[in-house]
Structures are given as C-alpha cells and as structure tokens.
Structure 1
Amino acid sequence: MAEQPLHEHTLGNGLRVVVCEDHVVPLAAVNIWYGVGSRHEQTGVDGKSRTGLAHLFEHLMFQGSANVAEGEHAALMESAGATFNASTSFERTNYYETVPVSHLELALWLEADRMGTLPAALTQENLDNQRDVVKNERRQRYDNQPYGTAFERLCRLTFPPGHPYAHTPIGSMEDLNATTIEDCVEFFRTWYAPGNAVLSIVGDVDPQAAIAMAERCFGGIPAGPAAPPARPGEVAPLAGVILEEVDEEVPSPAYFAMLPLPPDGGHAIEAAELAAEILGGGSGSRLYDRMVRRDQIATEVWTGVTRLVGGPSLAIVEAIGPDPAKIAEVLDEELAAFAADGPTEDETARATAQAERGLLERTETVTGLANALSANATQFDDPARVFTSAARAAAVTGAEIKDAARRWLAPGTRTALSYGGAK
C-alpha cells in the first residue's frame, strides 16, 4: 500500500487527531478509538466484578447525550445517508461513521457531544433497556448457539482467574445484572476522556479545515484524568494440553484448541500468523487436506488468529468431526511435521500473498483506512504504520515460518475443548 500524507494534531485536552486526504469519492470517514476494552474491566477487585461494561458502553453511547435525544444520533446519521456502527474487543472500543463530506461536521459534533456529556443522558431506563439488549445478544450469539461459548471457555482455560484476558467482551449475566448507574458513570469518567482516544478522519477533506472542525467540536471537552495503566497481560507458557470435556447439546462432536502466539507489534507475530494460515486457513491448508480430504475424520476445519497487543495473541483451531480424540491425535501429527519440515515454497508464497491481499482489502475504502489509522495510533503510537503492514507480511521467509511453527505451534501444548455430540 502506497504511503499517503498524514496530518496530525493533538488538541489541548489530549485528543489525537489524524487526517488523511482521499478525493476519490465525496465521502468522509470519522473513526474514534478509545483505549478501553474488556481487559480494562474490574474482575474480582475487593470482591467486585463488572465484566461486560466495555461492550455495554458500545450500546449506551447511542442512547443520547446532553444535546442529543435518545435515538437522535441514529436518526441524524440515517437522514444524512451515513453508515455508522461501533465495536468492542479485548483492548479497545471504536465508533465510526462514513458520511457525505457535507455532513462531516455533524458527525464530529455528535461524537464530541457523547464524549463530553454522555452521563447527562444516562438514565436507569436506558441502562435497563441496553442491558437487556446485551443479555439477549449473549443468549443469541453465545449461550444458545452451537459451540457459541467455545472461545470464552478457551480463554478461561488459557488464562488464570482474574487475568485481564480470561473473560471476553460480552461479559457474564451476573456482572451485567449487577451493573449500576454509578458503575457506568465511573467507567465513563475513567476511560472516555479525550486523552484516551484517537480521532481519524479520512476522505474528501481539506486537512487543515478538518482539524479546525475537530478543534471546534472537541476542543471544549475537559481533559479529564489520565487513564490508569492496564493490568499486565503476560501469561506463563503452557506445559501440556489442558482439556475440558464439554457436556453440551451440539449438532456434531467437535474439537477446539487455543495456542498462544507472540503479542502483536513485532516481526514474530507476522511469521506466527502465516504459520497458522498454512496450518488451517481454508481449503488449501494442511489440516483441511489431512482431516477432511484424506483421512475424512472432519467435515470442516478452520484456523484463525486474534492479535493482541497487551498479552499473547491467540490461534484457534476448530474441527468438526465424529471423533474428537482422533482429531487431537492427527492435529499433533501435523503440528510435529510442520515444526520439523516447515512450509513449502508454494505454501509460503500463497500465505504471504493472501495476507497482503487481506491487509489491502481492509484499507481500500475510507472507512477501512480510518479504522486502521486509529488502530495503529492507539496500539503502536504510529498511524503511518498501516502503510507498511502488507510489506511486513511479504517480508516473512519460509525459515521464519518454520521457526514460528516450532516455537508457537508445538504439538502437545495447548488448551482444548472436546464436544461429544448431540444427545
């Protein structure tokens, strides 16, 4: 991806603004990353646990602020022909809109009003309503979905109790039920300060005019307290296979595994993610060829990677088949062979090409580029890092992938779930 000029400015209250011109279409993308996710939530401190708050706020932020009525944010964006949404992960929460450039200042003003004044509109009715929305989301996407709690279970096996990554952003029903207005106000004042946020604007804009708009909209928000440091996310290496037998009604037996990888940000994660891709990333992968085509012990198999900055990244292996024990045995055989032999030249070329293509596709729109700029500014203090992401993947060699497979994808070292099948 060719590097594009970035224009950066930090407001007096600490909000970091990044602007990139793109005059292909008359649109502007507004993207705010707050440095708060589920890893920053309170778990077991003084007997109090409030998991799920970061994700709950993703919903509460659309329920109005001092100068915006409930539902008005969405109504104004829809009337402007905008697309908008939000998302929460372990390490951040982001809010984004892509608007006709004529409505850029409206989008900025709406974001600024909720950043500066959300507690003014936070009512018990809003909290109860959105808590029910989140609880229903948990039921539909996790608790009542086949294998829906697999990732959550694996995190609990991989990380010790109370560890910042031991729980997932959806939170627990118990903690959601216990959350009060006071908890929400404290959480907002702790994490939703301008100095804990990055605002990226990408599109058909004049950079200085866009920065001036940001100054007008956000400049009057008090700086607020500095965000507290996140708890350490390191974890001791796994000594073997930690297996949990899951007694749950599912359509078919299955085997899930989690293997810790290096944290995001260095060369090591590039090689480790490519190794995971070669191992199980689609129908051309080693695991698919062995388990589905040749041995026919699985009907599907898949491997993916969740990158984390403050702790180990995570590789997930999912295989659906009648004999989870046999799947585990074959997985170890393939991991051992990969560590011993490394990838072929063709596997390396295909994996690096797929990684490059994926990175480019995620930043080819103003919406995607704005998100990537906010991500790299928030996590690595370098928004321009996005322009070298594809080159970093392309630079990984077969020897480095082999080393990564031996170090991070070793047989007999993982957490795992075995689902027995329908009853």
Structure 2
Amino acid sequence: MQIPIETETLANGLRVTYSEDHVAPLVAVNLWYHVGSANEREGRTGFAHLFEHMLFQGSANVEANEHFELVQRAGGTLNGSTWLDRTNYFETVPSNQLALALWLEADRMGSLLPAMTQQKLDTQRDVVKNERRWSVDNQPYGTWWERLPALTFPPTHPYHHSLIGSMEHLSEASLEDVAEFFATWYTPDNAVLTIAGDFDPIEARALVREYFGAIPRNPSPPGRPDFAVPARFDHTMREVVDDDVQLPRAIVAMRIPPAGSEAWYAASVAGAVLGMRKGSRLYRKLVREQQIGADASAYTFDLTKGADLLVVDVTANGDVTSDRLEDAVHTELDVFARDGVSDPEVARALALIETDFVSSLQSAQDRADTLSKYATYFGDPALVNEQPSRYQRVTAAEVTAFAKEWCTRDNRATLLYVPRVAAVEAAA
C-alpha cells in the first residue's frame, strides 16, 4: 500500500503535504504545530494545552466559537489536541468546502493576537481547570498521566511536567505571557499543513499560497529544549499512590531508544508481544491463566527525542492484593528479559501492527494526521510508506536481544496504585 504524497515548502517556511484520493467526496485539513508541553518555560506550564482552547476563541475575521459553527454548518467535523511535543488542529469537510477550512486555519495562524482578550483568557483558563478536575483529580487513576513522566524523567527534563500543566502557573499567566507563547511557536515555519482526500491539487496549492503565503515567519526562531537523558534508568524506581480506587493497578515503564530510531522497532514489536490485545503474553498469563489481572496491556509512548518509554499496564482482578499484582508483573517481565520471544509471537505481533497501521490510513483525516506526524517529527512524510517493510525486517532474535538489554529490573520504574484502605500495607 503506497500513499500518494506531494510536498512543497512556502517561502515563509510552512511545509505542506498533499495526498490525493477520490474514494469519498471529503477532504481533510490537518495542521501540526511543533510545540507541546515540552516547550513550556519553567514556571509557565500548561500553555500548550491552554492554546488548544484559545485557538477556537476567534481571530481577526472569525468570532469566538464561529470556527466550530462554520465548519459544522458546512457539514464538516473538527477538533484539536495537545501532546508533549506537538499541537494539532484538524477539519474534515465536503470536498467543495476546502477553501473554508484552509481560510479558517490561516486566519487564526496569522491574526489570532488582535482578537485575544483578557476575558477570553480568563474563560478558557477556567475551562482548563475544570477539565483537570474532571479528567485528573476526580478520575480513578487519573493522576497517572502526570505521575509517570515525573517518575521517569528528571525534574529539569522537558517531559517531566504534566501535559495539562500547573493550575498555579495558569492562574499567574498574564495576557502578555500568552501572547508571547503564541508569537513564538504558532508561526508558519514551525508548522506542517497536510491536505488529504478528494481535492484538485492545482486548486489546493493555489488556496494554500493565497491564504498562508503572506503570514510572516518567526524572525527569531526559538531554540529547542535539551531532551538528552541516560539511555537506561540503571536503577529501580517505585512510587506508591494511595488513591480512591477499587482495584490495585501496576504501571511499569522501561526507558528505551527514541521512537523512529533503528533500535526502536524491536521495542515496538516487544510491546505488541507483551500486551497488544487478548492474545498477548501478559493477557494470556496474568488475566486468563493466573487470573491475577482484570486487564493487561503494553505499548510505547512514541517519544521521538531523547528516549521513549515502553509501558506495561495491569489492573488487578477482584481481591488480588497490590503486592501480589506487582510481583506477578515483574515476574513475567523477568521471564521476558531472560528468555526473549518466539517466532510465532513475533509473527502475530507484526500482523497486528500492520493491520493497525493500514487501518490508521483508511480515512482522509487519519491519513492526514499520520503524514503530519512523519513530516513534523522526522522531516519526511514519505517515510510513512516505508513503515510496513521496516517492521517486517524485525526478527525474533532482535526482539529477544532488546528484551535482554532493556527490560531488566534495573531499567524499570513502577507506579503502583493502591486502594486507600490498603495503602499502608503496600507502602510498608
């Protein structure tokens, strides 16, 4: 399966990817800014996620929330999301509405600041605080998203602090702080635009140049943070969380090579062997056979700078204690690190990875997002076409070597959630 790809870079630095197909009369517009929580300054965390909200609050020619109204009235869908090192905004619209989607994205890239007000900042700051209460503070196990990075990356590392940021920092943020963050990072030379689906390439290129071409680049591009960390933990780490949860949960992270590196593909396959779906090793051993876990999974974080994480996540079954759960997870990882994997396990993992990869390219928006990812992180959207063959070169011997080097006890960090009534026992 080869995805058709054409690219261009405008004079202002905006990188554009075009992927044309006419399967359905829909076109996806996907805009990635190479900025996330990792780019926030000390004492000013939470800005990247705040801007995911602020960019829907109007620009010079668009009223607050009108972006949603215009796209939905045209029969389209839209949203945005924030991650550690990127923020993206996306629309899927009928083919004849491509100009609308591009104009809306260009208007907020080029003229958000004149429409930014203290009232909008205060309102969206409260929205983010409520989001934190709902998704983190009052959600069972909700703090794991901030506890795991804090446990696995040192305090000065860009990945250490949480994605949603500090509510104290957000409360202290001024309109000038927020405007500076936008002017620094939300510029065409720090963005990747992808158009995928049913469109005329000549018309699309003309629209991109018309709407985005005059937006100025950042005259003083910011420096990137230092992501360097030791390759391994080289010591065990453990945090016990006394929480209002019904069942213990063990989350074990191993530091591994960064996503996209040569050694990472074996790590990705290892994650699939360990915990991809119900035929995986951990699910078979811990859920079906030993009945220690109610669920078990494993996955990589797909971090492309410094180091990635391979994460094993198991929730206890019934009255299984936190100690028993933790011991069982580490025992299975010990076996994995000692004995490695079999050819059938790797064959199964590769088949699942390929199926998921192909599925992720089926819709125009998913394809656009994947192309934006490879253009942003690796500088070349065409790398998407090399992924199936790159995975197929991974052998059981390589995965076994990875397990022996990277999955030992001295490269594990454990985050253990314990029901509040049992916390004293687990911490003893």
Partner in structure 2 of residue 37 of structure 1: 36
Q: Which amino acid aligns with 2:152?
A: T
1:421 offset after TM fit, Å?
Answer: 1.1
- Deviation string for 1:304-350 (max 9, x for gaps)? 22101112111222222232222332223222222232212211111
C-alpha RMSD of the superposition: 1.4
Distance 1:228 1:405 in 2: 38
- Deviation string for 1:170-227 (max 9, x for gaps)? 1121112112111110000100111000111112222222111100001111122343
| Match 2:151 to one of 148, 157, 161 | 157
Report matched runs for 1:45-194 at 5 Å: 49-194=43-188
| Match 1:220 to one of 207, 211, 214 | 214
1:255 offset after TM fit, Å?
Answer: 1.6
SS at match of 2:68: helix
Distance 1:62 1:152 in 2: 26
Q: Please, which moves more after superposition, 183-192 or 323-332?
A: 323-332
SS at match of 2:224: coil
Quick check: 1:16 aligned with 2:10? no
Quick check: 1:301 aligned with 2:289? no
Distance 1:87 1:281 in 2: 24
Distance 1:179 1:391 in 2: 47
| Match 2:266 to one of 259, 264, 271 | 271
Distance 1:275 1:224 in 2: 41
Partner in structure 2 of residue 343 of structure 1: 341
8 Å contact kept, 1:23–1:204: yes
- Deviation string for 1:286-309 (max 9, x for gaps)? 222222222222222222221011
Quick check: 1:363 aligned with 2:361? yes
8 Å contact kept, 2:248–2:325: no
Q: Please, which moves more after superposition, 124-133 or 6-15?
A: 6-15
Partner in structure 1 of residue 308 of structure 2: 313
Distance 1:413 1:378 in 2: 29
- Deviation string for 1:352-403 (max 9, x for gaps)? 0100111111111111111111111111111111112222222211111111
Structure 1 outlier segments of 4+, above 4 Å? none
Gaps of 5+ in 1: 44-48
Distance 2:107 2:275 in 1: 45
Gaps of 5+ in 2: 422-428
Distance 1:325 1:233 in 2: 34
8 Å contact kept, 2:15–2:192: yes
8 Å contact kept, 1:333–1:411: no
8 Å contact kept, 2:286–2:292: yes
SS at match of 1:339: helix
Quick check: 1:389 aligned with 2:387? yes
8 Å contact kept, 2:255–2:411: no
Q: Please, which moves more after superposition, 406-415 or 195-204?
A: 406-415
SS at match of 2:159: coil
Distance 1:344 1:79 in 2: 53
| Match 1:200 to one of 181, 194, 200 | 194
* Percent identity between the two aligned chains: 47
Distance 1:207 1:408 in 2: 46
Distance 1:202 1:293 in 2: 42
Q: May I ask how many residue pairs the two structures share in their alignment?
A: 417
8 Å contact kept, 2:146–2:163: no
Q: Which amino acid aligns with 2:2?
A: A
1:246 offset after TM fit, Å?
Answer: 1.0
Distance 1:28 1:203 in 2: 4
| Match 2:237 to one of 231, 237, 242 | 242
Q: Please, which moves more after superposition, 261-270 or 59-68?
A: 261-270
Report matched runs for 1:256-267 at 5 Å: 256-267=251-262
1:419 offset after TM fit, Å?
Answer: 2.1
Distance 1:227 1:261 in 2: 30
Quick check: 1:281 aligned with 2:276? yes
Q: Which amino acid aligns with 2:346?
A: T
Distance 1:260 1:332 in 2: 15
Q: Please, which moves more after superposition, 98-107 or 254-263?
A: 254-263
8 Å contact kept, 2:233–2:410: no
Distance 1:13 1:344 in 2: 51
Partner in structure 2 of residue 409 of structure 1: 407
TM-score, with normalisation over the residues of structure 2?
0.94
Distance 2:182 2:288 in 1: 51
SS at match of 1:267: coil
1:422 offset after TM fit, Å?
Answer: 4.2
Q: Which amino acid aligns with 2:12?
A: N
Partner in structure 1 of residue 416 of structure 2: 418
Distance 2:287 2:241 in 1: 23
- Deviation string for 1:132-185 (max 9, x for gaps)? 111111111111111111131111111111210001211121112112111110
- Deviation string for 1:235-271 (max 9, x for gaps)? 2221222111212211112222211121012231111
SS at match of 2:7: strand
SS at match of 2:79: strand
Distance 1:60 1:52 in 2: 12
Q: Which amino acid aligns with 2:53?
A: H
Q: Which amino acid aligns with 1:138?
A: R
Q: Please, which moves more after superposition, 18-27 or 219-228?
A: 219-228
